[in-house]
Structure 1
């Protein structure tokens, strides 16, 4: 149960912040947001607030912000169409009933001759007395069909009516908010746990390793290695790893005195590559400073971004295969392990996942945010948008391929963890 709750919290947070980015910048651009959804598939819970429906859906594989004009949500009233209109005091239509018999004496029935519900906002047709009339439509009018109400979307409130810059920000803001979430999580960890100083202080020594044989002790402060000053633990670690089987000299400070120790790192091999090891343990001292915690949030976000991009590059160049990828099942299993190590480790894991989600969504692939941004870039260069039908077909193919990939990585996860 603990794992389920941890997974829901982590997954929900990542998706919520991602979609929140889309939502905020869409609203800033004046776009009508029809739905803000966490999860996909059948609706579990829904709440209408203002002009947006907020929903929680069954399948934990993402979420979405549905904006007016992005899909085929527009309604065209064809000639001969019979509608019922509720008018306000200014004889402006506030509600439009489609194909329904409405038992309301205040409803004006029209047989539509022409209509414009996007730019002109009017309906022309013949009333029950066969009189031709024109009714203006409110910008906030709702369409009622089979008991479901949908707000109309005037053209200036549709996604495609906005500038390339506004549309770009509405899409880019999703991944951007994932990086912002990661920054805040790392910064909070820095405030609560302290910021690692990475001072080169020996935390422990393996009694069977070269370091113990040379006389290195817990608490020793490493000053130099092979004549080079050591300022951070990484300086010592990288030098030792680069010299397997080669004698090295280390100067440490102990009880106010400098002591020189000589040793030869053991040679270990991993993935066909040799590296050195002297048998010491490290735990960085920490410093609690709010300002440094903010800097820590930036540096950790940057470092993990570089790391993930490097792994992505390895995948592209074939240095590891698709079998190494994980889907929801794999993320769930890792979350199960991490959750057992405490809330701090869970927060760190959530931050890393948030960066990963941001990067993956920025890849210039169809159906992803990056794919849509690529089309916006092409539009900016051409001076006109790509044909909507062609773009839609590309994204549709992308969605199919992503679903296939999801099935493959999920099957890999199932085989890896359960067989």
Structure 2
């Protein structure tokens, strides 16, 4: 139960912030947002506020922000339609009702449509009950009611495709951007609550019978140099030791204010891939300091470092050092969350930050149906000076969605076999 709650909270937070980026920048550009959804598939909860419906959907495989003009969400009033109108005191149409029993609404003005434009000129023209040709102006926030379903009209200037390339690109880019911002905030909170690691090379524990213990190293010793090379951070110590397997080294430590020289032979350790590295047998936990300014720097550094690591892993996947079997889907992430949750809230927060960066990077890949694929099309549009044919672009994205769904099924099946069989 604890794992399920942790998974739902982390998943919900990552998707929420990603879609929040799209949502806020769409609003900033003046785009009408029809739906803000967490999850995919059947709706399990929905509430309309203003012109946007906020929904939670059944399948935890993503989310979306549905914007006016991105799909066929408009309704055309064809000649011959019989509609009912609700107008305000200025005789401007606020609601248009059709395809339902209008007799239950006696205050309607009935009209048989002759012409209508609900995108640019915003009017409806037709014959009233007395067979007179009349014309009404339509409000920009007019609501269409069809078979009981309400839909706010989308004037052309409020549609996604009517915006500039820059506005559309920023709206799409904002999703991954907010994932990086979320990761930064999580690392910042970790730094504020748990302290910022100083990485001072102070030994936490010495392993019995290993080279460091045999040379006389003690817990609390601060390593200042190895073979005369100055050591400032734990990373310096680890790098030097790992690069000298089966070699003699002289380690200088600060012990209670006194300098002590220790001679030891680095132990050689072999990895599964055959690569060898050095080890002296010490354990380390970095000292931490509580400083708000350093916490901000720590947040930025950790976000950058994790981004680099994920790109390195992605490069290994492209070059074949990793196979598709190494990928994890929702099942694998759930199982990993279960393991991480056992080590406390800070480890869970680190895990959430890593997943957020990973989600941001994956969405920026120039693949159809992903944010990066859409940004690629915007780049082509900027270079050409005109948009790519919408139908052709739609086909490319549709193929991309199908391929991503196939990949998701394969990865999920691999996860199920790995963890349950």
Taking structure 2 as the reference length, what is the TM-score of the superposition?
0.98
The runs of 5 or more residues in structure 1 that have no matched partner are: none
Partner of 2:203: 202
Partner of 1:69: 69
Partner of 2:328: 326
The runs of 5 or more residues in structure 2 that have no matched partner are: none
What is the CA-CA distance between 1:159 and the residue it aligns to? Answer: 0.5
Q: 1:370 aligns with which of 369, 372, 380?
A: 372
Mapping for residues 255-404 of structure 1, pairs under 5 Å? 255-270=256-271, 271-404=273-406
- Aligned equivalents of 2:80, 2:26: Cα separation in 1: 36
- 1:357-416 CA distances to partner (integer Å, 9 max, x unpaired)? 011111111111111111111111111111110111111001000000100110111111
- Aligned equivalents of 2:227, 2:420: Cα separation in 1: 49
Contact 2:212–2:281 (CA under 8 A) maintained in structure 1: yes
- Aligned equivalents of 2:287, 2:329: Cα separation in 1: 35
Mapping for residues 184-263 of structure 1, pairs under 5 Å? 184-263=185-264
- 1:301-344 CA distances to partner (integer Å, 9 max, x unpaired)? 00000000000000011111010000000111111111121111
What is the CA-CA distance between 1:101 and the residue it aligns to? Answer: 2.6
What is the CA-CA distance between 1:109 and the residue it aligns to? Answer: 2.2
What is the CA-CA distance between 1:83 and the residue it aligns to? Answer: 1.7
Contact 2:100–2:148 (CA under 8 A) maintained in structure 1: no
- 1:118-161 CA distances to partner (integer Å, 9 max, x unpaired)? 00101122223322222211111111111111100000111111
- Aligned equivalents of 1:411, 1:316: Cα separation in 2: 21
- Aligned equivalents of 1:410, 1:269: Cα separation in 2: 33
What is the CA-CA distance between 1:263 and the residue it aligns to? Answer: 1.5
- Aligned equivalents of 1:105, 1:219: Cα separation in 2: 86
- Aligned equivalents of 1:322, 1:405: Cα separation in 2: 9
What is the CA-CA distance between 1:287 and the residue it aligns to? Answer: 0.5
- Aligned equivalents of 2:15, 2:365: Cα separation in 1: 17
What is the CA-CA distance between 1:220 and the residue it aligns to? Answer: 0.9
Q: Secondary structure at 1:44's aligned position in 2?
A: strand
Mapping for residues 85-104 of structure 1, pairs under 5 Å? 85-103=85-103, 104=105
Q: Secondary structure at 1:201's aligned position in 2?
A: coil
Partner of 1:415: 417
Contact 2:44–2:58 (CA under 8 A) maintained in structure 1: yes
- Aligned equivalents of 2:342, 2:261: Cα separation in 1: 42
User: 1:41 aligned to 2:41?
Assistant: yes
Taking structure 1 as the reference length, what is the TM-score of the superposition?
0.98
What is the CA-CA distance between 1:100 and the residue it aligns to? Answer: 2.1
Q: Runs of 4+ in structure 1 displaced over 3 angstroms?
A: none
- Aligned equivalents of 1:178, 1:140: Cα separation in 2: 32
What is the CA-CA distance between 1:66 and the residue it aligns to? Answer: 0.7
Contact 2:217–2:262 (CA under 8 A) maintained in structure 1: yes
